Structure 1
Amino acid sequence: MPFVLAILAALAPAFAKLSEGWFELVPCELCLWQRAPYWVAVPLFLAAGFLPRRRGLFLVLGGLACLVSAAIGGFHAGVEWGWWPSPLPGCAAPTAQGMSVEDLMRSLAPTPTKPCDAATFLIPGLPVSMAAMNAIYGAVVALLGFGAARRR
């Protein structure tokens, strides 16, 4: 089970990165934040597979890392739905109020970004954004990790 969990944890950020190329999606700053906890979870789940004496601990820690990503995804979904603003400065759309064109051009990010409140819907007709899907997916992987630790 730890190796399956490691694969599941790696699939989420890998799919997000691939969707940038396949679907030409541009991630926002919160989208990028959601990926990092999975890369923490992968070695923790692998350690659970290779270190049977500490398997339960590593499964719980890997599950917590996935839960962090799920929490960021849930927070991001709340930003998309307008429940609260994002505290990250990179999440706001640039405005030109009181700026010259030259100042505005200098303030733009070197790579394209999108505002965090602009939801990305991957499946047409399904009103669940990628952030909300990540919240669900991260929670499921976390619960699987916790369940595997408990069975131990």
Structure 2
Amino acid sequence: MTLTRNFLALIAMAGSAGLLLGALAFEHLGGLYPCVLCIWQRWPHVAALAFGLVALKVRGPVLPILAGLAALTSAGIGVYHTGVEQDWWPGLLQCAVNTLADVSAADLLNTEVTVGAPAACDKIAWSFLGLSMPAWNVIASSGIAAVWALTARRA
């Protein structure tokens, strides 16, 4: 059985949509507020979905390639984020938003300061099988990019 171009595109789009829905579920149902890098990892999947929707109607390899590059961009940000979590390299200045380094006693009593605030990028909020969410995003986004590559070859 040969997988059609549109079927492959739908598989890749389902992967991006699944990652986005999973991230939103962790945030809104699980109470795990995202850090700046977490948010940055989401946007390329939004772009991949947009490219994918257009690719369902417009033939050629360009749109699947762009969607695959978007997924690889998310994977690249995930590699950087994983390195920040593991202290392999420093994070961005925006990554230290929700740390206790510069918090006064009055701030600790004020729940409005931290509720909904971005998390610090260097803290592992959740892990499974020893891998954090950004590490899992690297794996999933790389797989999605591979499906987009197969889709481009069918163009």
TM-score range, shorter chain: 0.7 to 0.9
Matched residue, 1:11:
18
Give, as a single letter, the amino acid of the residue that structure 2 aligns with 1:5: A
User: How far apart are residue 87 of structure 1 and its match?
Assistant: 1.6
Q: Is the 8 A contact 1:121 1:127 kept in 2?
A: no
Give the 3 Å change call, closer, same or farther, for CA 78–4 of structure 1 in structure 2: same
Matched residue, 1:71:
76
Give, as a single letter, the amino acid of the residue that structure 1 aligns with 2:44: P
- Could you give the per-residue CA deviations for residues 56-76 of structure 1, whole angstroms, max 9, x where no partner exists? 110000000000000001100
* Equivalent residue pairs, number: 143
User: How far apart are residue 112 of structure 1 and its match?
Assistant: 2.2
Matched residue, 2:101:
95
User: 2:150 aligned with 1:144, yes or no?
Assistant: no
Matched residue, 1:32:
39
User: 2:29 aligned with 1:22, yes or no?
Assistant: yes
* Structure-to-structure mapping, 1:108-147, within 5 angstroms: 111-123=116-128, 126-147=129-150
Give, as a single letter, the amino acid of the residue that structure 2 aligns with 1:22: L
What's the TM-score, normalizing by structure 1? 0.83
User: How far apart are residue 3 of structure 1 and its match?
Assistant: 2.1
User: How far apart are residue 137 of structure 1 and its match?
Assistant: 0.7
Structure 2: distance between partners of 1:116 and 1:31? 8
Q: Quick one: higher RCO (CA 8 Å, sep 6+), 1 or 2?
A: 2
User: How far apart are residue 94 of structure 1 and its match?
Assistant: 4.6
Give the 3 Å change call, closer, same or farther, for CA 129–110 of structure 1 in structure 2: closer
Query: CA RMSD, aligned part only?
Result: 2.2
List gaps (5 residues or longer) in structure 1.
Answer: none
Give the 3 Å change call, closer, same or farther, for CA 114–134 of structure 1 in structure 2: same
Structure 2: distance between partners of 1:26 and 1:45? 28
Structure 2: distance between partners of 1:78 and 1:43? 29
Q: Is the 8 A contact 1:77 1:132 kept in 2?
A: yes
How high is the sequence identity, in percent, across the aligned residues?
Answer: 31
